[in-house]
Amino acid sequence: MGQRRRVRLLKDDPVARDDGHVGGLVPPPQLSPGLLVQPEQRLVADDDREVPDDRHVLRPGLDLHRPQRTRPGVGRLAVAAGSRRQDDADRARDSPPHAPHRSPWRDNCHMTGDDLVRAGGVFEDDALIARVNDALRGMWSRLAAVPRDDPFWSRTNHRTTWFKVHDHARACLDRDPSDAEARLALVGLAMRAGAFDGLDLLAEDATARDGAVHDLIAVTEWVWLQVGVDPGPTLERALLTVGGPALRRLSASGMRAAAAGLAFLDGASFAEAIGRDRWQLLLYALVDPPFDERARECLRDDASAVGDLMDEARWWATYRDTDVTGRLRELLVNAAPGSATSGRTAGTGGPPSPR
């Protein structure tokens, strides 16, 4: 039969362990012409089929010393050097010729992902969300326009991504603290991540722009509504950065956001500070039965709560695409006598009005 074929045995092979030739190319000493390999013995094989650890268990009845007829590129034993290179050449031969060249970075030169949308808050409005989306698009375009030989692209794949937009915006803001677009883009990226990281940036901006206080409360509310996490110490730190005197001055001028900030610093919860405590209770009562008892008491004691309840039903339909009509009817059974509910149905009309 000629010289015995040499095969590669794995570490779990008992023959390899006994010989001390683990992982080496050794002839199987217990094999003779015609002797069949046991199913548990494994060989390194070059095959397109997926098996654990990219190995194949040989079929019972396979004679190692008899040439095997196989189709080119399928089922060949990797006992000869260069078999994988030959497979690569076969694939290259079968691939479509003259594939169009694509730039390594222009595939991603346009902003990806959806724009931010309203969350149905009291302080957030369409204008704020539009400004944040414009800042995100602008920062994406600014990064895409940076020449690829700029040091910023060192050790990168030269593609514009949100991670790189964040780094670029941070660098731009460090160089020029008056770069409003970079600042608002960082706020928007934090909003996309459902984090309160942008509050400190808005608090710093409040020293130069009174409107930043409103944006601070509005962004806090947006993230709070989206992820359900209390802003806690992050908002407190941002409001302290703005300063009590500035908040009192703005509150005296009629800014509701500044008054909400002062209430939060005085110990009120965020829902209470922005006037959403009862609103929040009724909102959750429409989807969560454990809030029933407190919600029914509120509806019995205050006829105006029915208006809030109707607004919250529309909020679920408008901002969460959730029909709560059944729960609304159950809760309205306990409404205070004389409360006006005629002509108002859940899921109809526009978004709820701020309260």
Widest CA span of the chain, in angstroms?
105
- The whole-number pLDDT of residue 112 equals 56
Between residues 36 and 128, the one the model is more confident about: 128
Q: Tell whether the model's pLDDT for residue 118 goes beyond 60.
A: yes
Provide the percentage of residues in the chain whose pLDDT is more than 70.
62
Question: Which tokens sit at 79?
Answer: 């006992």
CB contact burial 130-146 (16+ within 10 A = b; e otherwise) = ebbbebbbbbbebbbee
pLDDT at 45 over 50: no
pLDDT exceeds cutoff 80 at 330: yes
Pair 175, 219: CB distance under 8 Å: no
User: In this predicted structure, what is the pLDDT of residue 220?
Assistant: 95
- Report the SS3 class of residue 115: coil
- Give the residue-averaged pLDDT of 264-285: 86
Among 112-121, 159-168, 223-232, 325-334, the range with the most confident prediction by mean pLDDT is 159-168
Model pLDDT, residue 257: 94
Average pLDDT in the 92-115 region? 49
With the C-alpha atoms ordered 305, 310, 313, 315, is the resulting torsion angle positive or negative?
negative
| pLDDT at residue 321, as a whole number | 87
Mean pLDDT of 297-309: 82
**Environment class of 219 (CB within 10 Å of its CB; exposed 0-12, middle 13-18, buried 19+):** buried
* Choice between 211 and 346, residue whose per-residue pLDDT is larger: 211
The string of pLDDT tens digits covering residues 181-224 is: 999 999 999 999 999 999 999 999 998 899 999 999 999 999 99
Residue 226, pLDDT above cutoff 70: yes
Q: How confident is the model at residue 44 (pLDDT cuts 50, 70, 90)?
A: very low
**194 phi-psi bin (left φ>0, alpha ψ -120 to 50, beta other):** left
Cα separation, 85 vs 290, whole angstroms:
66
pLDDT at 310 over 70: yes
pLDDT at 349 over 90: no
pLDDT of residue 355: 42
Over range 4-29, report the average pLDDT: 48
Global pTM exceeds 0.85: no
Helix (H, G, I), strand (E, B) or coil at 77: strand
CA distances from 105 to 94, 145, 158, 169 (A): 27, 11, 5, 19
